[in-house]
Structure 1
Amino acid sequence: MPKRKIDTRAIGLDAGAGFIRWLTGAENLHYGLWTDLEPVAGNVGKAQEAYTERLLGFLPEGPLSILDIGGGAGEMAGKLADLGHRVDIVVPSRPLAERCRANAPDARVHETTFEAFDSDTAFDLCLFSESFQYIPLRVALDKALQLAAPGGHVLIADCFRSENFEPGGETRTVGGGHPVGKFRAALEACAGDVLRQEDVTEAVAPSIDIEQGLFHVLGDAVTHIDAELSAKRPVMRWLLARAARLAFGRRRLYRLDRRFRGNERSSTAFVRNNRYLVTLIRKERGHAVRPEPNAATV
Protein backbone atom coordinates (compact mmCIF):
# COMPACT_ATOMS: atom_id res chain seq x y z
CA MET A 1 0.00 0.00 0.00
CA PRO A 2 1.55 3.36 -1.02
CA LYS A 3 2.40 5.80 1.71
CA ARG A 4 0.08 8.78 2.00
CA LYS A 5 1.91 12.10 1.71
CA ILE A 6 1.86 14.21 4.85
CA ASP A 7 0.25 17.60 4.20
CA THR A 8 2.83 19.74 5.98
CA ARG A 9 1.22 22.98 4.79
CA ALA A 10 -2.13 22.05 6.34
CA ILE A 11 -0.39 21.02 9.57
CA GLY A 12 1.51 24.30 9.60
CA LEU A 13 -1.65 26.35 9.05
CA ASP A 14 -3.46 24.50 11.83
CA ALA A 15 -0.55 25.03 14.22
CA GLY A 16 -0.36 28.66 13.14
CA ALA A 17 -4.05 29.13 13.92
CA GLY A 18 -3.48 27.83 17.44
CA PHE A 19 -0.51 30.12 18.03
CA ILE A 20 -2.18 33.24 16.65
CA ARG A 21 -5.28 32.49 18.74
CA TRP A 22 -3.05 32.41 21.83
CA LEU A 23 -1.32 35.66 20.81
CA THR A 24 -4.30 37.74 19.62
CA GLY A 25 -7.49 35.95 20.71
CA ALA A 26 -8.48 35.37 17.07
CA GLU A 27 -7.46 32.89 14.39
CA ASN A 28 -6.49 35.15 11.50
CA LEU A 29 -3.86 33.49 9.33
CA HIS A 30 -3.08 36.47 7.10
CA TYR A 31 -0.53 39.28 7.15
CA GLY A 32 -1.14 42.44 9.13
CA LEU A 33 -1.36 45.97 7.77
CA TRP A 34 1.14 47.99 9.81
CA THR A 35 0.47 51.56 8.68
CA ASP A 36 0.77 53.83 11.76
CA LEU A 37 1.45 50.81 14.03
CA GLU A 38 4.70 49.99 15.83
CA PRO A 39 5.92 46.61 14.48
CA VAL A 40 5.91 44.68 17.76
CA ALA A 41 4.24 41.39 18.64
CA GLY A 42 1.69 43.14 20.85
CA ASN A 43 0.25 44.88 17.79
CA VAL A 44 -0.22 41.78 15.62
CA GLY A 45 -3.94 41.62 16.39
CA LYS A 46 -4.45 45.32 15.54
CA ALA A 47 -2.47 44.96 12.31
CA GLN A 48 -4.55 41.96 11.24
CA GLU A 49 -7.75 43.83 12.04
CA ALA A 50 -6.52 46.73 9.88
CA TYR A 51 -5.89 44.27 7.04
CA THR A 52 -9.41 42.88 7.38
CA GLU A 53 -10.94 46.36 7.33
CA ARG A 54 -8.95 47.28 4.21
CA LEU A 55 -10.15 44.11 2.47
CA LEU A 56 -13.76 44.72 3.46
CA GLY A 57 -13.44 48.16 1.88
CA PHE A 58 -13.05 46.48 -1.52
CA LEU A 59 -16.41 44.69 -1.34
CA PRO A 60 -19.18 45.82 -3.68
CA GLU A 61 -22.44 46.90 -2.08
CA GLY A 62 -24.30 43.98 -0.52
CA PRO A 63 -25.65 41.79 0.82
CA LEU A 64 -23.65 39.38 -1.34
CA SER A 65 -23.28 35.67 -1.90
CA ILE A 66 -19.56 35.09 -1.30
CA LEU A 67 -17.30 32.11 -1.98
CA ASP A 68 -14.34 32.28 0.42
CA ILE A 69 -11.67 30.18 -1.28
CA GLY A 70 -9.15 28.69 1.13
CA GLY A 71 -10.91 30.27 4.09
CA GLY A 72 -8.21 29.63 6.70
CA ALA A 73 -9.77 29.19 10.13
CA GLY A 74 -13.01 30.97 9.15
CA GLU A 75 -12.39 34.34 10.82
CA MET A 76 -13.01 36.36 7.64
CA ALA A 77 -16.05 34.28 6.75
CA GLY A 78 -17.49 34.85 10.21
CA LYS A 79 -17.09 38.62 9.83
CA LEU A 80 -18.68 38.51 6.38
CA ALA A 81 -21.64 36.51 7.69
CA ASP A 82 -22.07 38.96 10.59
CA LEU A 83 -22.32 41.76 7.99
CA GLY A 84 -25.26 39.98 6.36
CA HIS A 85 -23.51 38.20 3.50
CA ARG A 86 -24.23 34.58 2.56
CA VAL A 87 -20.89 32.76 2.71
CA ASP A 88 -19.60 29.44 1.40
CA ILE A 89 -16.08 28.35 2.37
CA VAL A 90 -13.83 26.02 0.38
CA VAL A 91 -11.02 24.58 2.51
CA PRO A 92 -9.06 21.33 1.88
CA SER A 93 -7.85 20.70 5.45
CA ARG A 94 -10.08 18.83 7.91
CA PRO A 95 -8.70 20.60 11.03
CA LEU A 96 -9.18 24.00 9.39
CA ALA A 97 -12.64 23.00 8.16
CA GLU A 98 -13.56 22.28 11.79
CA ARG A 99 -12.24 25.71 12.83
CA CYS A 100 -14.28 27.31 10.02
CA ARG A 101 -17.44 25.66 11.32
CA ALA A 102 -16.67 26.97 14.80
CA ASN A 103 -15.72 30.52 13.77
CA ALA A 104 -18.31 30.92 11.01
CA PRO A 105 -21.32 28.83 12.08
CA ASP A 106 -23.62 30.53 9.56
CA ALA A 107 -21.38 29.68 6.60
CA ARG A 108 -21.47 26.51 4.53
CA VAL A 109 -18.13 24.70 4.62
CA HIS A 110 -16.97 22.56 1.68
CA GLU A 111 -14.06 20.37 2.72
CA THR A 112 -12.36 20.03 -0.66
CA THR A 113 -9.83 21.66 -2.94
CA PHE A 114 -10.86 24.58 -5.10
CA GLU A 115 -9.94 22.57 -8.18
CA ALA A 116 -12.46 19.87 -7.19
CA PHE A 117 -15.18 22.25 -5.98
CA ASP A 118 -18.34 22.75 -8.04
CA SER A 119 -21.55 24.67 -7.49
CA ASP A 120 -24.99 24.76 -9.11
CA THR A 121 -25.29 28.49 -8.45
CA ALA A 122 -23.09 31.49 -9.12
CA PHE A 123 -21.64 33.86 -6.53
CA ASP A 124 -21.65 37.64 -6.35
CA LEU A 125 -18.04 37.55 -5.14
CA CYS A 126 -15.23 34.98 -5.15
CA LEU A 127 -12.62 35.84 -2.51
CA PHE A 128 -8.99 34.76 -2.32
CA SER A 129 -7.37 36.01 0.90
CA GLU A 130 -3.80 34.66 0.65
CA SER A 131 -4.96 31.44 -1.01
CA PHE A 132 -4.50 32.41 -4.68
CA GLN A 133 -0.79 31.51 -4.65
CA TYR A 134 -1.46 27.86 -3.76
CA ILE A 135 -3.56 27.18 -6.89
CA PRO A 136 -2.26 27.20 -10.49
CA LEU A 137 -2.68 30.77 -11.70
CA ARG A 138 -4.98 30.32 -14.68
CA VAL A 139 -6.99 27.61 -12.91
CA ALA A 140 -7.62 29.94 -9.95
CA LEU A 141 -8.50 33.00 -12.02
CA ASP A 142 -10.55 31.32 -14.75
CA LYS A 143 -12.52 29.09 -12.39
CA ALA A 144 -13.30 31.97 -10.03
CA LEU A 145 -14.63 33.97 -12.97
CA GLN A 146 -16.65 30.93 -14.04
CA LEU A 147 -18.21 30.66 -10.59
CA ALA A 148 -18.95 34.40 -10.43
CA ALA A 149 -22.38 35.62 -11.54
CA PRO A 150 -22.54 37.85 -14.64
CA GLY A 151 -21.42 41.24 -13.43
CA GLY A 152 -20.09 39.61 -10.26
CA HIS A 153 -16.62 40.10 -8.82
CA VAL A 154 -13.39 38.32 -7.89
CA LEU A 155 -11.28 39.79 -5.09
CA ILE A 156 -7.67 38.64 -4.77
CA ALA A 157 -5.41 39.67 -1.88
CA ASP A 158 -2.08 37.91 -2.06
CA CYS A 159 1.66 37.96 -2.47
CA PHE A 160 3.34 37.72 -5.88
CA ARG A 161 7.00 37.32 -6.82
CA SER A 162 8.32 40.64 -8.12
CA GLU A 163 10.38 41.26 -11.25
CA ASN A 164 13.38 41.57 -8.90
CA PHE A 165 12.86 38.12 -7.35
CA GLU A 166 16.08 36.23 -6.66
CA PRO A 167 15.94 32.52 -5.69
CA GLY A 168 17.45 31.87 -2.29
CA GLY A 169 19.55 28.80 -3.07
CA GLU A 170 19.90 26.72 0.09
CA THR A 171 17.25 28.80 1.88
CA ARG A 172 13.89 29.73 0.39
CA THR A 173 13.46 33.42 -0.39
CA VAL A 174 10.90 35.05 1.90
CA GLY A 175 7.41 35.53 0.49
CA GLY A 176 5.98 33.57 -2.40
CA GLY A 177 3.25 33.43 -4.98
CA HIS A 178 2.95 33.51 -8.74
CA PRO A 179 5.25 35.78 -10.76
CA VAL A 180 3.62 39.21 -10.83
CA GLY A 181 4.26 39.60 -14.57
CA LYS A 182 2.33 36.41 -15.32
CA PHE A 183 -0.48 37.57 -13.04
CA ARG A 184 -0.78 40.86 -14.89
CA ALA A 185 -0.77 39.06 -18.24
CA ALA A 186 -3.51 36.72 -17.01
CA LEU A 187 -5.59 39.73 -15.93
CA GLU A 188 -5.24 41.21 -19.41
CA ALA A 189 -6.43 37.97 -21.01
CA CYS A 190 -9.23 37.02 -18.59
CA ALA A 191 -13.00 37.48 -18.98
CA GLY A 192 -13.10 40.38 -16.56
CA ASP A 193 -12.11 43.99 -15.96
CA VAL A 194 -9.80 45.18 -13.19
CA LEU A 195 -11.78 47.82 -11.28
CA ARG A 196 -9.21 48.53 -8.59
CA GLN A 197 -5.75 47.37 -7.58
CA GLU A 198 -3.74 48.46 -4.56
CA ASP A 199 -0.12 47.62 -3.75
CA VAL A 200 0.26 47.23 0.04
CA THR A 201 3.69 45.55 0.04
CA GLU A 202 5.41 48.02 2.34
CA ALA A 203 2.44 48.07 4.72
CA VAL A 204 2.39 44.28 5.24
CA ALA A 205 6.18 43.73 5.20
CA PRO A 206 6.75 44.26 8.97
CA SER A 207 4.81 41.02 9.52
CA ILE A 208 7.96 39.23 8.36
CA ASP A 209 10.13 40.90 11.01
CA ILE A 210 7.63 39.92 13.72
CA GLU A 211 7.62 36.30 12.53
CA GLN A 212 11.41 36.15 12.33
CA GLY A 213 11.70 37.64 15.81
CA LEU A 214 9.61 34.74 17.12
CA PHE A 215 11.88 32.23 15.39
CA HIS A 216 14.92 33.90 16.92
CA VAL A 217 13.40 33.47 20.39
CA LEU A 218 12.81 29.78 19.64
CA GLY A 219 16.33 29.51 18.20
CA ASP A 220 17.88 30.92 21.36
CA ALA A 221 15.98 28.36 23.44
CA VAL A 222 17.13 25.50 21.16
CA THR A 223 20.73 26.75 21.37
CA HIS A 224 20.66 26.78 25.19
CA ILE A 225 19.10 23.31 25.36
CA ASP A 226 21.66 21.96 22.88
CA ALA A 227 24.52 23.42 24.94
CA GLU A 228 23.15 21.85 28.14
CA LEU A 229 22.77 18.44 26.50
CA SER A 230 26.25 18.63 24.97
CA ALA A 231 27.78 19.39 28.38
CA LYS A 232 25.73 17.08 30.59
CA ARG A 233 24.06 14.44 28.39
CA PRO A 234 26.32 14.01 25.33
CA VAL A 235 25.03 10.54 24.45
CA MET A 236 21.43 11.69 24.56
CA ARG A 237 22.34 14.73 22.49
CA TRP A 238 24.04 12.51 19.87
CA LEU A 239 21.00 10.22 19.67
CA LEU A 240 18.59 13.15 19.29
CA ALA A 241 20.75 14.77 16.60
CA ARG A 242 20.96 11.50 14.66
CA ALA A 243 17.21 10.95 14.92
CA ALA A 244 16.61 14.49 13.62
CA ARG A 245 18.93 13.89 10.63
CA LEU A 246 17.17 10.63 9.79
CA ALA A 247 13.70 12.19 10.12
CA PHE A 248 14.31 15.47 8.27
CA GLY A 249 17.53 15.13 6.30
CA ARG A 250 20.49 17.49 6.37
CA ARG A 251 19.01 20.01 3.90
CA ARG A 252 15.79 20.49 5.84
CA LEU A 253 17.69 20.75 9.10
CA TYR A 254 19.93 23.41 7.57
CA ARG A 255 16.90 25.41 6.43
CA LEU A 256 15.33 25.05 9.86
CA ASP A 257 18.54 26.22 11.48
CA ARG A 258 18.56 29.31 9.24
CA ARG A 259 14.96 30.04 10.25
CA PHE A 260 15.99 29.87 13.91
CA ARG A 261 19.26 31.79 13.66
CA GLY A 262 19.45 33.58 10.30
CA ASN A 263 18.44 37.03 9.10
CA GLU A 264 17.66 36.24 5.47
CA ARG A 265 13.93 36.65 6.16
CA SER A 266 13.30 40.34 6.72
CA SER A 267 10.89 43.07 5.68
CA THR A 268 13.60 44.47 3.39
CA ALA A 269 14.04 41.13 1.60
CA PHE A 270 10.27 40.75 1.37
CA VAL A 271 9.82 44.14 -0.33
CA ARG A 272 12.68 43.43 -2.74
CA ASN A 273 11.35 40.04 -3.84
CA ASN A 274 7.56 40.42 -3.67
CA ARG A 275 4.53 42.53 -4.46
CA TYR A 276 1.49 42.23 -2.24
CA LEU A 277 -1.55 43.23 -4.32
CA VAL A 278 -5.25 43.59 -3.58
CA THR A 279 -7.14 43.31 -6.87
CA LEU A 280 -10.87 43.64 -7.57
CA ILE A 281 -12.09 42.22 -10.88
CA ARG A 282 -15.59 42.47 -12.35
CA LYS A 283 -16.76 39.65 -14.58
CA GLU A 284 -17.97 40.60 -18.02
CA ARG A 285 -21.73 40.13 -18.28
CA GLY A 286 -21.48 38.09 -21.47
CA HIS A 287 -19.71 35.19 -19.72
CA ALA A 288 -22.49 33.50 -17.75
CA VAL A 289 -21.75 29.83 -17.10
CA ARG A 290 -23.66 29.30 -13.83
CA PRO A 291 -27.26 30.19 -12.87
CA GLU A 292 -27.59 33.26 -10.66
CA PRO A 293 -28.14 32.74 -6.89
CA ASN A 294 -31.79 31.91 -6.13
CA ALA A 295 -32.59 31.83 -9.87
CA ALA A 296 -35.84 30.06 -10.73
CA THR A 297 -35.52 26.71 -12.49
CA VAL A 298 -37.37 26.62 -15.81
Structure 2
Amino acid sequence: MGKKRLDSRSVGLDVAAELVKWLTGAENLHYGLWTGLEVNASNLGAAQAAYTAKLFAFLPDGPLSILDIGGGAGETAKELIALGHRVEIVVPSRCLADRCRNNAPQAKVHEMTFEDFEAAERFNLCLFSESFQYIPLETALDKALKVTQPGGHVLIADCFRSEGFAVAGEVRPPGGGHPIAKFRKAVAALPVEELASEDITEAVAPSIVLEQELFHVFGKAVDRIDSELLIKRPGTRWATAHLLKLILGRRRLARLDARLRGNFRTSEAFIRNNRYMITLLRKLP
Protein backbone atom coordinates (compact mmCIF):
# COMPACT_ATOMS: atom_id res chain seq x y z
CA MET A 1 0.00 0.00 0.00
CA GLY A 2 1.42 3.40 -0.99
CA LYS A 3 1.89 6.26 1.38
CA LYS A 4 -1.10 8.56 1.85
CA ARG A 5 -0.34 12.03 0.60
CA LEU A 6 -0.40 14.79 3.20
CA ASP A 7 -3.36 17.08 2.49
CA SER A 8 -1.49 20.29 3.26
CA ARG A 9 -4.16 22.48 1.67
CA SER A 10 -6.89 21.07 3.92
CA VAL A 11 -4.70 21.49 6.98
CA GLY A 12 -3.84 25.02 5.94
CA LEU A 13 -7.49 25.98 5.45
CA ASP A 14 -8.43 24.56 8.83
CA VAL A 15 -5.65 26.49 10.57
CA ALA A 16 -6.57 29.63 8.60
CA ALA A 17 -10.18 29.35 9.74
CA GLU A 18 -9.06 29.25 13.37
CA LEU A 19 -6.76 32.23 12.90
CA VAL A 20 -9.34 34.34 11.07
CA LYS A 21 -11.96 33.53 13.69
CA TRP A 22 -9.53 34.68 16.40
CA LEU A 23 -8.92 37.96 14.52
CA THR A 24 -12.46 38.74 13.33
CA GLY A 25 -14.93 36.55 15.20
CA ALA A 26 -15.97 34.82 11.96
CA GLU A 27 -14.47 32.02 9.88
CA ASN A 28 -14.38 33.70 6.48
CA LEU A 29 -11.62 32.26 4.29
CA HIS A 30 -11.87 34.69 1.38
CA TYR A 31 -10.04 37.87 0.42
CA GLY A 32 -11.05 41.24 1.78
CA LEU A 33 -12.22 44.23 -0.24
CA TRP A 34 -9.99 47.06 1.02
CA THR A 35 -11.42 50.14 -0.71
CA GLY A 36 -11.31 52.98 1.84
CA LEU A 37 -9.79 50.79 4.57
CA GLU A 38 -6.32 50.93 6.12
CA VAL A 39 -4.55 47.62 5.54
CA ASN A 40 -4.08 46.12 9.00
CA ALA A 41 -5.33 43.10 10.93
CA SER A 42 -7.93 45.10 12.84
CA ASN A 43 -9.72 45.90 9.55
CA LEU A 44 -9.72 42.34 8.18
CA GLY A 45 -13.27 41.65 9.38
CA ALA A 46 -14.57 44.86 7.77
CA ALA A 47 -12.74 44.11 4.52
CA GLN A 48 -14.16 40.59 4.36
CA ALA A 49 -17.65 41.90 5.10
CA ALA A 50 -17.24 44.40 2.24
CA TYR A 51 -16.21 41.54 -0.05
CA THR A 52 -19.31 39.54 0.88
CA ALA A 53 -21.55 42.57 0.26
CA LYS A 54 -19.95 43.02 -3.17
CA LEU A 55 -20.45 39.33 -3.99
CA PHE A 56 -24.08 39.33 -2.88
CA ALA A 57 -24.80 42.38 -5.07
CA PHE A 58 -24.42 40.03 -8.06
CA LEU A 59 -27.13 37.63 -6.85
CA PRO A 60 -30.32 37.48 -8.92
CA ASP A 61 -33.61 38.20 -7.23
CA GLY A 62 -34.55 35.49 -4.73
CA PRO A 63 -35.27 33.53 -2.78
CA LEU A 64 -32.95 31.06 -4.51
CA SER A 65 -31.84 27.47 -4.18
CA ILE A 66 -28.04 27.79 -4.10
CA LEU A 67 -25.26 25.23 -4.37
CA ASP A 68 -22.24 26.69 -2.58
CA ILE A 69 -19.30 24.85 -4.15
CA GLY A 70 -16.25 24.70 -1.89
CA GLY A 71 -18.16 26.50 0.84
CA GLY A 72 -15.22 27.12 3.18
CA ALA A 73 -16.29 27.12 6.81
CA GLY A 74 -19.94 27.87 6.03
CA GLU A 75 -19.92 31.61 6.79
CA THR A 76 -21.17 32.59 3.33
CA ALA A 77 -23.89 29.95 3.47
CA LYS A 78 -24.98 31.25 6.88
CA GLU A 79 -25.41 34.75 5.49
CA LEU A 80 -27.23 33.50 2.40
CA ILE A 81 -29.66 31.55 4.56
CA ALA A 82 -30.26 34.64 6.69
CA LEU A 83 -31.32 36.42 3.48
CA GLY A 84 -33.94 33.72 2.83
CA HIS A 85 -32.08 31.49 0.39
CA ARG A 86 -31.90 27.70 0.63
CA VAL A 87 -28.31 26.47 0.51
CA GLU A 88 -26.49 23.21 -0.02
CA ILE A 89 -22.71 23.05 0.38
CA VAL A 90 -20.14 20.86 -1.35
CA VAL A 91 -16.81 20.71 0.50
CA PRO A 92 -14.19 17.92 0.40
CA SER A 93 -12.46 18.57 3.74
CA ARG A 94 -13.86 16.76 6.78
CA CYS A 95 -12.73 19.55 9.11
CA LEU A 96 -14.34 22.24 6.98
CA ALA A 97 -17.48 20.14 6.49
CA ASP A 98 -17.84 19.98 10.28
CA ARG A 99 -17.39 23.76 10.48
CA CYS A 100 -20.08 24.21 7.82
CA ARG A 101 -22.49 22.08 9.81
CA ASN A 102 -21.77 24.15 12.90
CA ASN A 103 -21.89 27.59 11.26
CA ALA A 104 -24.78 26.89 8.88
CA PRO A 105 -26.86 24.10 10.46
CA GLN A 106 -29.77 24.75 8.09
CA ALA A 107 -27.61 23.94 5.06
CA LYS A 108 -27.22 20.44 3.69
CA VAL A 109 -23.53 19.59 3.55
CA HIS A 110 -22.08 17.19 0.96
CA GLU A 111 -18.63 16.07 2.16
CA MET A 112 -17.02 15.32 -1.19
CA THR A 113 -15.36 16.93 -4.17
CA PHE A 114 -17.48 18.74 -6.73
CA GLU A 115 -16.25 16.23 -9.29
CA ASP A 116 -17.93 13.44 -7.28
CA PHE A 117 -21.12 15.38 -6.51
CA GLU A 118 -24.38 14.18 -8.02
CA ALA A 119 -27.45 16.38 -7.67
CA ALA A 120 -30.94 15.07 -7.07
CA GLU A 121 -32.31 18.44 -8.19
CA ARG A 122 -31.34 21.46 -10.26
CA PHE A 123 -30.40 24.68 -8.47
CA ASN A 124 -31.27 28.29 -9.23
CA LEU A 125 -27.63 29.26 -8.75
CA CYS A 126 -24.21 27.63 -8.43
CA LEU A 127 -21.72 29.70 -6.44
CA PHE A 128 -17.94 29.47 -6.65
CA SER A 129 -16.42 31.83 -4.09
CA GLU A 130 -12.65 31.27 -4.35
CA SER A 131 -13.14 27.58 -5.10
CA PHE A 132 -13.25 27.69 -8.90
CA GLN A 133 -9.47 27.63 -9.28
CA TYR A 134 -9.16 24.29 -7.45
CA ILE A 135 -11.37 22.41 -9.92
CA PRO A 136 -10.37 21.60 -13.51
CA LEU A 137 -11.75 24.41 -15.66
CA GLU A 138 -13.91 22.39 -18.03
CA THR A 139 -15.18 20.16 -15.23
CA ALA A 140 -16.19 23.13 -13.09
CA LEU A 141 -18.11 24.87 -15.87
CA ASP A 142 -19.72 21.79 -17.42
CA LYS A 143 -20.84 20.31 -14.11
CA ALA A 144 -22.10 23.65 -12.80
CA LEU A 145 -24.33 23.97 -15.85
CA LYS A 146 -25.46 20.38 -15.44
CA VAL A 147 -26.77 21.02 -11.92
CA THR A 148 -28.24 24.46 -12.74
CA GLN A 149 -31.81 24.91 -13.92
CA PRO A 150 -32.42 26.29 -17.42
CA GLY A 151 -32.45 30.05 -16.97
CA GLY A 152 -30.52 29.64 -13.73
CA HIS A 153 -27.20 31.25 -12.88
CA VAL A 154 -23.55 30.51 -12.16
CA LEU A 155 -21.70 33.07 -10.04
CA ILE A 156 -17.89 32.87 -10.01
CA ALA A 157 -15.68 35.02 -7.79
CA ASP A 158 -12.04 34.02 -7.97
CA CYS A 159 -8.48 34.76 -8.94
CA PHE A 160 -7.24 34.03 -12.45
CA ARG A 161 -3.75 34.11 -13.92
CA SER A 162 -3.19 37.13 -16.11
CA GLU A 163 -1.57 36.74 -19.52
CA GLY A 164 1.66 38.03 -17.97
CA PHE A 165 1.71 35.49 -15.12
CA ALA A 166 5.31 34.34 -14.67
CA VAL A 167 7.14 32.10 -12.20
CA ALA A 168 10.67 33.20 -11.36
CA GLY A 169 12.71 30.19 -10.22
CA GLU A 170 10.95 27.93 -7.74
CA VAL A 171 8.92 30.66 -6.06
CA ARG A 172 5.44 31.23 -7.43
CA PRO A 173 4.05 34.76 -7.46
CA PRO A 174 1.04 35.44 -5.23
CA GLY A 175 -2.34 34.44 -6.59
CA GLY A 176 -2.93 31.92 -9.34
CA GLY A 177 -5.92 30.05 -10.65
CA HIS A 178 -6.88 29.24 -14.22
CA PRO A 179 -5.49 31.39 -17.05
CA ILE A 180 -7.96 34.22 -17.64
CA ALA A 181 -7.75 33.87 -21.43
CA LYS A 182 -8.57 30.16 -21.23
CA PHE A 183 -11.51 30.90 -18.92
CA ARG A 184 -12.96 33.49 -21.29
CA LYS A 185 -12.58 31.17 -24.25
CA ALA A 186 -14.31 28.33 -22.38
CA VAL A 187 -17.21 30.57 -21.32
CA ALA A 188 -17.65 31.84 -24.88
CA ALA A 189 -18.18 28.26 -26.07
CA LEU A 190 -20.92 27.49 -23.53
CA PRO A 191 -24.70 27.93 -23.83
CA VAL A 192 -24.64 30.86 -21.41
CA GLU A 193 -25.16 34.59 -21.36
CA GLU A 194 -22.68 36.71 -19.42
CA LEU A 195 -24.86 39.09 -17.43
CA ALA A 196 -22.11 40.86 -15.48
CA SER A 197 -18.37 40.81 -14.96
CA GLU A 198 -16.27 43.04 -12.70
CA ASP A 199 -12.53 43.17 -12.14
CA ILE A 200 -11.82 43.83 -8.44
CA THR A 201 -8.12 42.95 -8.52
CA GLU A 202 -6.83 46.21 -7.09
CA ALA A 203 -9.43 46.26 -4.31
CA VAL A 204 -8.54 42.77 -3.03
CA ALA A 205 -4.77 42.93 -3.63
CA PRO A 206 -3.93 44.42 -0.18
CA SER A 207 -5.03 41.09 1.34
CA ILE A 208 -1.69 39.74 0.08
CA VAL A 209 0.17 42.40 2.07
CA LEU A 210 -1.60 41.44 5.27
CA GLU A 211 -0.92 37.76 4.63
CA GLN A 212 2.79 38.46 4.04
CA GLU A 213 3.03 40.48 7.26
CA LEU A 214 1.54 37.54 9.15
CA PHE A 215 4.08 35.15 7.62
CA HIS A 216 6.86 37.54 8.66
CA VAL A 217 5.64 37.31 12.26
CA PHE A 218 5.85 33.52 12.04
CA GLY A 219 9.26 33.81 10.40
CA LYS A 220 10.64 35.97 13.20
CA ALA A 221 9.36 33.46 15.75
CA VAL A 222 11.01 30.59 13.87
CA ASP A 223 14.30 32.52 13.61
CA ARG A 224 14.25 33.29 17.33
CA ILE A 225 13.71 29.64 18.23
CA ASP A 226 16.38 28.58 15.73
CA SER A 227 18.99 30.93 17.19
CA GLU A 228 18.24 29.69 20.70
CA LEU A 229 18.58 26.06 19.63
CA LEU A 230 21.82 26.82 17.80
CA ILE A 231 23.38 28.11 21.01
CA LYS A 232 21.89 25.75 23.58
CA ARG A 233 20.76 22.62 21.68
CA PRO A 234 22.82 22.33 18.48
CA GLY A 235 22.18 18.58 18.22
CA THR A 236 18.43 19.06 18.47
CA ARG A 237 18.61 21.86 15.90
CA TRP A 238 20.52 19.66 13.44
CA ALA A 239 18.09 16.76 13.88
CA THR A 240 15.08 19.04 13.43
CA ALA A 241 16.50 20.63 10.27
CA HIS A 242 17.38 17.20 8.86
CA LEU A 243 13.87 15.89 9.60
CA LEU A 244 12.25 18.88 7.89
CA LYS A 245 14.36 18.29 4.80
CA LEU A 246 13.26 14.65 4.70
CA ILE A 247 9.58 15.48 5.20
CA LEU A 248 9.24 18.57 3.00
CA GLY A 249 12.07 18.25 0.49
CA ARG A 250 14.27 21.02 -0.87
CA ARG A 251 11.64 22.66 -3.07
CA ARG A 252 8.97 22.97 -0.38
CA LEU A 253 11.53 24.22 2.12
CA ALA A 254 12.61 26.90 -0.34
CA ARG A 255 9.01 27.98 -0.82
CA LEU A 256 8.40 28.01 2.93
CA ASP A 257 11.52 30.10 3.50
CA ALA A 258 10.35 32.56 0.85
CA ARG A 259 6.97 32.82 2.56
CA LEU A 260 8.44 33.36 6.03
CA ARG A 261 11.23 35.76 5.13
CA GLY A 262 10.69 37.03 1.60
CA ASN A 263 9.08 40.19 0.30
CA PHE A 264 7.84 38.99 -3.09
CA ARG A 265 4.18 38.77 -2.02
CA THR A 266 3.12 42.36 -2.62
CA SER A 267 0.01 44.09 -3.95
CA GLU A 268 1.96 45.10 -7.04
CA ALA A 269 3.06 41.52 -7.74
CA PHE A 270 -0.50 40.29 -7.27
CA ILE A 271 -1.93 42.91 -9.63
CA ARG A 272 0.77 42.20 -12.22
CA ASN A 273 0.17 38.45 -12.27
CA ASN A 274 -3.56 38.10 -11.65
CA ARG A 275 -7.07 39.19 -12.44
CA TYR A 276 -9.62 38.80 -9.65
CA MET A 277 -13.01 38.58 -11.34
CA ILE A 278 -16.63 38.33 -10.28
CA THR A 279 -18.66 36.93 -13.16
CA LEU A 280 -22.36 36.15 -13.36
CA LEU A 281 -23.53 33.74 -16.07
CA ARG A 282 -27.07 32.75 -17.01
CA LYS A 283 -27.74 29.30 -18.44
CA LEU A 284 -29.70 29.61 -21.62
CA PRO A 285 -33.02 27.72 -21.74
TM-score, L = length of structure 2: 0.98
| Structure 2 SS opposite 1:120 | coil
| 1:64 alignment partner in structure 2 | 64
CA distance in 2, matches of 1:137, 1:2: 29
Which is worse superposed, 115-124 or 4-13?
Answer: 4-13
CA distance in 1, matches of 2:112, 2:240: 37
CA distance in 1, matches of 2:237, 2:252: 19
List aligned pairs for 1:61-140, cutoff 5 A. Answer: 61-140=61-140
Stretches of structure 1 that go unaligned for 5 or more consecutive residues are 286-298
| Structure 1 SS opposite 2:27 | coil
| 1:158 alignment partner in structure 2 | 158
CA distance in 1, matches of 2:135, 2:246: 31
| 1:196 alignment partner in structure 2 | 196
Q: CA deviation at 1:4?
A: 2.0
Identity within the alignment, %: 64
CA distance in 2, matches of 1:222, 1:147: 47
CA distance in 1, matches of 2:228, 2:34: 39
| 1:252 alignment partner in structure 2 | 252
| 1:282 alignment partner in structure 2 | 282
CA distance in 2, matches of 1:10, 1:218: 20
CA distance in 1, matches of 2:229, 2:81: 51
CA distance in 2, matches of 1:81, 1:160: 28
Q: CA deviation at 1:64?
A: 0.3
CA distance in 1, matches of 2:120, 2:233: 63
Question: Which one-letter code corresponds to 2:166 in the other structure?
Answer: E
1:158-186 superposed Cα distances (whole Å, 9 cap, x missing partner): 00000111113211221010000000101
CA distance in 2, matches of 1:232, 1:243: 19
1:90-129 superposed Cα distances (whole Å, 9 cap, x missing partner): 0011110000000101100001110110112110000000
CA distance in 1, matches of 2:284, 2:168: 40
Q: CA deviation at 1:189?
A: 0.6
| 1:170 alignment partner in structure 2 | 170
Question: Which one-letter code corresponds to 2:155 in the other structure?
Answer: L
| Structure 2 SS opposite 1:158 | strand
| 1:47 alignment partner in structure 2 | 47
| 2:184 alignment partner in structure 1 | 184
Structure 1: 4+ residue segments shifted above 3 A = none
List aligned pairs for 1:200-215, cutoff 5 A. Answer: 200-215=200-215
| 1:33 alignment partner in structure 2 | 33
Question: Which one-letter code corresponds to 1:209 in the other structure?
Answer: V
Cα RMSD (Å): 0.8
CA distance in 2, matches of 1:225, 1:8: 23
CA distance in 1, matches of 2:195, 2:83: 23
Which is worse superposed, 5-14 or 180-189?
Answer: 5-14
| Structure 1 SS opposite 2:55 | helix
Question: Which one-letter code corresponds to 1:124 in the other structure?
Answer: N
| Structure 2 SS opposite 1:27 | coil
TM-score, L = length of structure 1: 0.94
Q: CA deviation at 1:243?
A: 1.4
Q: How many pairs are equivalent? A: 285
